[in-house]
Amino acid sequence: MYAESDLKTSRVLFVTSKKTAIYTQVVDLVKGNLRNQQANSYQFTVVLGKSFADAQINFSPDLIVTVGASASELVMKEKPVQPVLAVLITDSAFEILANKYYGSKAGAHAAQVSVICLDQPIERSIKLAKLLVPEAKIAGIMTGPSSQKNSAEFAEHVVAAAMTPKLVNIELTDNPIHKLEPIIRDSDVFIPVPDNRLVNIATARWVLQLSFRYQIPVIAYSKTYLDAGATAAIFSSVENVAKQTSEFITDEKMRIEAGAHMPAYYSIKFNYSVAGNLNIDLKTEQFYRNKLQADSE
């Protein structure tokens, strides 16, 4: 047992983008996880981004955790001396902010700014697609302005899963349906990659309409996309994000050696109605999780 005097106390300042359920849930789950730690004690303060400057002075945190992209920007532009961890932010959004305020991702990391990216590694979605449709020969992949630079890497993962890649890039100025239709029509599975928020919004409706028209399963990146008509989704849940955030906070070495962390945990969900319409015989979520785990070992 640890005596009270042996406990090392860390002050953690959470800066949230908005006072909405998802941000509150992440913070509450992290705080709950950290209260169970025996070797450390933690003091917490939670503020909205606009109150960051005052909290910085009054609370004197040891670590700043930004929850959401706008909170990350408000903190990064102030360049605090303390280590910063950005969560609930996509890799592309973090890269834009890192370039803007620190010159590069490497510059941000050198200033002890770390990130737990919200977007899952695409190889997980590709492998799940092949497990759901073992006979699939062609995988359509949709990129956007930020993710297009990774097209060659995405194609390699598709080939590694014994499929042929068909990639389409959507820019903000494009008419999505004109570029999406031939790709989705000729694919056996289709995987949109999360990108610029406006691109995500502009393309989701067309992706789902075209997938329904051509009876092509979509492997999505969010629960919202799944509920709207995708066949399956592999994504970072609030619980997944909170668990990894808690682990980061308790690992002092990780704070000092700042860097980008891909999601260590993920959730898999299915739209059973859509899968049934596509004649996909779904097994249990644990079956697919076990297969994905085995592939990564």
Query: What is the residue range of 102's domain?
Result: 4-119+238-261
Q: Are 133 and 244 contained in the same domain?
A: no
Q: Are residue 142 and residue 28 in the same domain, yes or no? A: no
Q: What is the pLDDT averaged over residues 261-277?
A: 95
**CA neighbor of 68 nearest in space, from 17, 102, 2, 105:** 17
143: in domain? yes
Residue showing tokens 């010159």:
103
Percentages helix, strand, coil for the chain (3-state, rounded to 5) are: 50, 20, 30
17 and 110 part of one domain: yes
What CATH number did the domain enclosing 33 receive?
A: 3.40.50.2300
Asked whether residue 61 is assigned to any structural domain, the reply reads: yes
pLDDT tens, 153-178? 999 999 999 999 999 999 989 999 99
Which residues, listed in sequence order, are joined to residue 85 by a DSSP beta bridge?
65, 114
Q: 109 and 173 share a domain?
A: no
- Give yes or no: residues 77 and 139 share one domain: no
Q: State whether 139 and 100 are in the same domain.
A: no
Between 59 and 217, the higher pLDDT residue: 217
State mean pLDDT over 136-140.
Answer: 98
245, 63 Cβ separation under 8 angstroms: no
Do residues 90 and 167 share a domain? no
Q: 265-277 burial string, b = 16+ CB within 10 Å, else e?
A: ebbbbbbeebbee
Q: Could you tell me which residues are beta bridge partners of residue 233?
A: 220, 269
Q: Are 275 and 155 in the same domain?
A: yes
The confidence band for 7, taking pLDDT boundaries of 50, 70 and 90, is low
How far apart CA 239 and CA 264 sit, in angstroms, is 12
In total, how many domains does the chain have?
2
What percentage of the chain reaches a pLDDT higher than 70? 96
pTM: 0.89
